[in-house]
Amino acid sequence: MSRIQRLKEGRVREIIELVKAEGDRAVKFLTKKFDGIDIEQTEINKEVSGSSSNQVNRQLKDAIAAAVINIERFHVAQLPKGIEVDTVPGVRCKLVYRPLKRVGLYVPGGTAPLISTALMLGIPARVAGCSELIVCTPPPVNPAILYVSSLLNARVFRIGGAQAIAAMAFGTQTIPQVNKIFGPGNAYVTEAKMQIAAAGIPIDIPAGPSELLVISDETAIPKFIAADLLSQAEHCPDSQVVLISTSTAIINETLNEINIQMEKLSRKLTAQKSLGNSFAIKVDSIPRVIEISNTYAPEHLIMAIENPNEFENEIVNAGSVFLGNFTPESVGDYASGTNHTLPTSGFAKSWSGVSLNSFLKTITLQELTPSGLYNISSTVTTLANAERLDAHANAISIRLNYINNRSKNEIL
């Protein structure tokens, strides 16, 4: 572990402990320290949230409304059905889904207020049936984030950073403790999520700086690839974008296009720093490209190759996949309907992105008739005795004795 990583872990640990110990007082102190803003009240009242509609122009409202429809449609389609099975005669087993009651949604703000993250987290939470949404976002709070939060009937708190994660994890005098924490953030937010997860508080995924991998062949369009790579490079200086291609010509043309397009970006300096973490690779075949991609396990994967559908089943490690030259990653970030909260840093090898199931939990139920107890009793008692757990076996035999002491016809 590097010295910088140790310092970051230590600093985040101090923040978490301070918020646990002092609650709102610590939150206000840390907000002044890191954001340079004094906050008298952490929560933004409903009247202010409601009035945010007046600060959002019609074009943006229409775009939000269109995105809501698509995101909601895709997540409603994910609503699971419970199951009910008779595993043996008289033994009925069920699995049912229940929504998490109160969820914490972290929405990054600052120079890039992520309105889309409020949509991507809040809509599936509401579709799942979560009764209370707690949104934390750094001050000053963007009016569009407030507007989306009001549409979702969410409570909004003007705090960000590791202190917001700690406040939602443990609760303060005004910020409720939540059942699970969702949302991306900078390196300190991610570290805070990892530390509170280690303390036993659920999180969605380890979501760090954004990343994009583009795989291409000679049919790719360099202008498109450059635009896609820059769309992720502009997120933050720690973002990483990668191009792997079977064509040297495509790589060279893409690099040239990046230089041309970057000059027009408002976040040019951020993109330049991100490109310092990035690279392009030439390989000999698409199977080799896919092998490297599965090893890298990207957050976002664009397959700018001929007939990408032929290879989609070979992609086993990726957060979200974009097939073909006319499927930019931006559509997934905003409005196609899929969720943009995805695993980074190789975690796509074992973690999934946020989906409707992220806001649900399962409960199993079982119900036995007396005859069902007879049918399964030998299996249970044999296994219990083999494990030397006499009380487990006794829970069966004591019921069998009860049945035997009564009329079997009466009970069965």
Q: How far is 334 from 64, CA to CA, in rounded Å? A: 9
**Could you tell me the end-to-end alpha-carbon distance of the chain, in angstroms, rounded to an integer?**
65
Question: Residue 73 contacts by C-beta under 8 Å, 6 or more apart in sequence?
Answer: 337
Are the CB atoms for 201 and 215 separated by under 8 Å?
no
Alpha carbon distances (Å) from 342 to 121, 347, 348, 351? 11, 9, 8, 9
Token readout for 351 is 């973690």
Active-site residue (options: 75, 300, 329, 340): 300
| Omega before residue 209 within 30° of 0, cis | no
Whether 300 is catalytic: yes
Alpha carbon distances (Å) from 253 to 28, 218, 247? 50, 11, 10
Going by their DSSP bridges, the two strands 279-282 and 240-245 should be labelled as: parallel
DSSP 156-209: EE---HHHHHHHHHH--SSSPP-SEEE----HHHHHHHHHHHHTT--BS----S
Task: Give, in degrees to the nearest 5, the angle at Cα 153 between 149 and 158.
Answer: 45
Active-site residue (options: 75, 299, 329, 340): 299
Q: How far is 102 from 169, CA to CA, in rounded Å? A: 11
Whether 47 is catalytic: no
Number of Cβ atoms within 10 Å of the Cβ of 146: 26
Alpha carbon distances (Å) from 116 to 65, 144, 145, 149? 12, 10, 9, 11
Are the CB atoms for 179 and 204 separated by under 8 Å?
no
Q: How far is 122 from 361, CA to CA, in rounded Å? A: 17
Alpha carbon distances (Å) from 238 to 4, 70, 142? 14, 30, 23
Residue 303 CB-density burial (10 A; 0-12 exposed, 13-18 middle, 19+ buried): buried
Catalytically active residues are 299-300
